């Protein structure tokens, strides 16, 4: 609910669409790329304290932008406030997924819980922008900005005070879990031991973890391509409604796919599952381009997009399950947040590439390029997943 009122508030105060775009980009970049850092703070200091501080700061900066919209502050001030709001955006989603792993530790139940979580998130992506759009038709952007500020603070308070979250234990700053298994000393009784000096590598230093993140990048790449290609396929103001419906159908298909996937008793390692599902997703996305090129029929393209959406949520669900395994006891929030960040990186890249390709060659070609890049990334993911696991103890 932040993006639309933020855009129109900055545009109104600065009189510049470019400045408004910069403000939205500043908010998105800081919110996405600093998310792992905020997750590390949660893992180290606990969910309750960090989330409350972040939510209050986030609500304060959003409220400041609302005040700036009423007072017509300079565009540069609004851009700085947008960037600061992104810096402190509380990672409620990753924290919730860590809580699901604690509430439903059995693999089958965890997959169902994450499927439900994914469906709710897809519905939020449908309802949030629509609610902001309707509110902006009635109220000034400043008033509409106050709504997400209040919702984030109230929702965070309810989240961290729920019984499940109150049991949260603060991440250990220094524990045996922080030390690689092969570095734990084995000493005889009565012999003085020396503390280990080597700590386990970062998550991004683990090729298996990188292989898990690449399918999330692919999901973002395909989603980002769709956000540009679909409006381009339905140009003009008369096509805006159709484009919105088609993108909504993609999100709806994703929600249905998440529910179906959660109900299926699937076996196998998440790292292998996510690569296979992402490969199906990229193949179906390429089929959208084929349908558009051969028929030029909007209905056929929409049907192909709905089928493609069925495999979007399953990619993210399996990535979240796998990330939870990598996080251990002290880095669960960080590992889950990296999945979100990878998706956002893929989304930004997909939108940028789609813009250039569509301008040069047309809409169908954007799906072909996205499919080719996706396959290359998934081949790399399979290569990384096949390498020896660096976290395995060597005796």
Q: pLDDT tens digit string along 217-248?
A: 999 899 888 877 887 787 654 565 677 678 77
Residue scoring higher pLDDT (373 or 103): 373
Burial 289-314 (b: 16+ CB within 10 A, else e): bbbbeeeeebeebbbbbbebbbbbbb
Closest CA to 226 of 296, 132, 292, 295: 292
Residue scoring higher pLDDT (122 or 94): 94
- The answer to whether 90 touches 34, Cβ cutoff 8 Å, is no
CA 279 to mean position of chain CA atoms: 19
Q: Cα(33)–Cα(384) distance, rounded to whole angstroms?
A: 23
- The answer to whether 200 touches 194, Cβ cutoff 8 Å, is no
Q: What percent of the chain has pLDDT over 70?
A: 84
pLDDT for 84 = 96
- The answer to whether 35 touches 56, Cβ cutoff 8 Å, is no
pLDDT for 200 = 54
Q: Assign domain 205-388 to its CATH superfamily.
A: MFS general substrate transporter like domains (1.20.1250.20)
CA 316 to mean position of chain CA atoms: 9
Q: Cα(42)–Cα(50) distance, rounded to whole angstroms?
A: 6
pLDDT for 155 = 94
Q: Cα(352)–Cα(71) distance, rounded to whole angstroms?
A: 34
Mean pLDDT lowest among 87-96, 120-129, 312-321, 332-341: 120-129
Mean pLDDT of 175-188: 42
pLDDT for 344 = 82
Residue scoring higher pLDDT (43 or 204): 43
CB atoms near residue 1 (< 10 Å): 22
Question: CA 170, 175, 179, 181 torsion: positive or negative?
Answer: negative
Mean pLDDT of 363-381: 93
Query: Which range among 97-101, 291-295, 312-316, 335-339 has the greatest average pLDDT?
Result: 312-316
Mean pLDDT of 126-153: 86
Helices 35-45 and 92-103: crossing angle in degrees, nearest 10, is 40
* Residue written as token pair 């692919």: 218
pLDDT for 180 = 41
pLDDT for 53 beyond 60: yes
pLDDT for 120 beyond 90: no
Mean pLDDT lowest among 2-6, 263-267, 378-382: 263-267
Q: Which residues contact 219 (CB under 8 A, 6 or more apart)?
A: 278, 281, 312, 315, 316, 319, 343, 346
pLDDT for 86 = 92
What does the DSSP assignment read for 10-30? Answer: HHHHHS-HHHHHHHHHHHHHH
- The answer to whether 380 touches 214, Cβ cutoff 8 Å, is yes
**Both tokens assigned to 256:** 């249905």
- The answer to whether 12 touches 69, Cβ cutoff 8 Å, is yes
Mean pLDDT of 162-174: 57
pLDDT for 389 = 61
Mean pLDDT of 322-345: 79
CB atoms near residue 162 (< 10 Å): 11
How many Å is the maximal CA-CA distance in the chain? 82
Cα dihedral 230/128/37/225 (nearest 10): 0
pLDDT for 142 beyond 80: yes
Mean pLDDT of 253-261: 85
Query: Which range among 57-61, 161-165, 223-227 has the greatest average pLDDT?
Result: 57-61
Residue scoring higher pLDDT (52 or 395): 52
**Both tokens assigned to 270:** 């998440």
Residue scoring higher pLDDT (152 or 226): 152
Confidence of residue 353 (pLDDT cuts 50, 70, 90): confident
pLDDT for 80 beyond 50: yes
pLDDT for 283 = 94
Q: Please state, rounded to an integer, the average pLDDT across all residues of the chain.
A: 81
Three-state DSSP at 330 gives coil
Closest CA to 85 of 134, 39, 147, 29: 29
CB atoms near residue 104 (< 10 Å): 15
pLDDT for 203 = 76
pLDDT for 169 beyond 60: no
pLDDT for 299 = 79
Mean pLDDT of 46-55: 92
- The answer to whether 16 touches 76, Cβ cutoff 8 Å, is no
Positions of CATH 1.20.1250.20 in the chain: 205-388
pLDDT for 132 = 79
Mean pLDDT of 207-215: 88
């Amino acid at each position: 609910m932040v993006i639309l009122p933020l855009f129109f508030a900055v545009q109104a105060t600065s009189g510049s669409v470019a400045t408004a775009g910069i403000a939205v980009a500043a908010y998105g970049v800081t919110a996405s790329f600093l998310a792992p850092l905020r997750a590390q703070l949660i893992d180290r200091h606990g969910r309750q304290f960090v989330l409350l501080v972040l939510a209050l700061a986030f609500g304060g900066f959003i409220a400041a932008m609302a005040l700036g919209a009423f007072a017509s502050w300079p565009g540069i001030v609004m851009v700085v406030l947008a960037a600061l709001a992104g810096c402190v955006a509380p990672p409620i989603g990753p924290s919730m997924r860590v809580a699901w792993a604690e509430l439903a530790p059995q693999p089958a139940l965890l997959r169902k819980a994450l499927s439900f979580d994914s469906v709710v998130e897809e519905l939020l992506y449908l309802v949030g922008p629509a609610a902001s759009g309707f509110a902006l038709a009635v109220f000034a952007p400043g008033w509409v900005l106050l709504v997400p500020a209040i919702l984030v603070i109230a929702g965070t308070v309810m989240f961290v005070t729920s019984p499940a979250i109150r049991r949260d234990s603060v991440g250990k700053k220094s524990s045996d879990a922080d030390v690689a298994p092969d570095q734990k000393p084995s000493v005889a009784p009565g012999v003085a031991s020396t503390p280990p000096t080597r700590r386990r590598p970062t998550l991004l230093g683990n090729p298996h973890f990188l292989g898990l993140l690449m399918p999330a990048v692919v999901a973002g790449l395909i989603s980002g391509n769709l956000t540009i290609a679909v409006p381009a396929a339905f140009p003009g103001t008369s096509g805006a409604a159709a484009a919105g419906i088609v993108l909504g159908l993609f999100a709806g298909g994703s929600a249905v796919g998440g529910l179906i996937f959660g109900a299926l008793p699937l076996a196998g390692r998440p790292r292998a599952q996510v690569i296979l599902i992402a490969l199906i997703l990229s193949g179906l996305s390429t089929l959208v381009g084929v349908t558009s090129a051969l028929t030029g029929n909007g209905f056929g393209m929409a049907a192909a997009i709905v089928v493609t959406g069925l495999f979007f949520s399953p990619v993210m669900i399996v990535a979240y399950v796998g990330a939870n395994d990598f996080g251990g006891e002290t880095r669960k929030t960080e590992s889950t947040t990296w999945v979100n960040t990878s998706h956002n990186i893929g989304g930004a890249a997909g939108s940028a590439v789609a813009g250039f390709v569509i301008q040069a060659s047309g809409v169908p070609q954007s799906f072909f390029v996205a499919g080719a890049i996706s396959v290359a990334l998934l081949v790399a993911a399979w290569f990384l997943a096949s390498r020896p696991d660096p976290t395995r103890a060597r005796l």
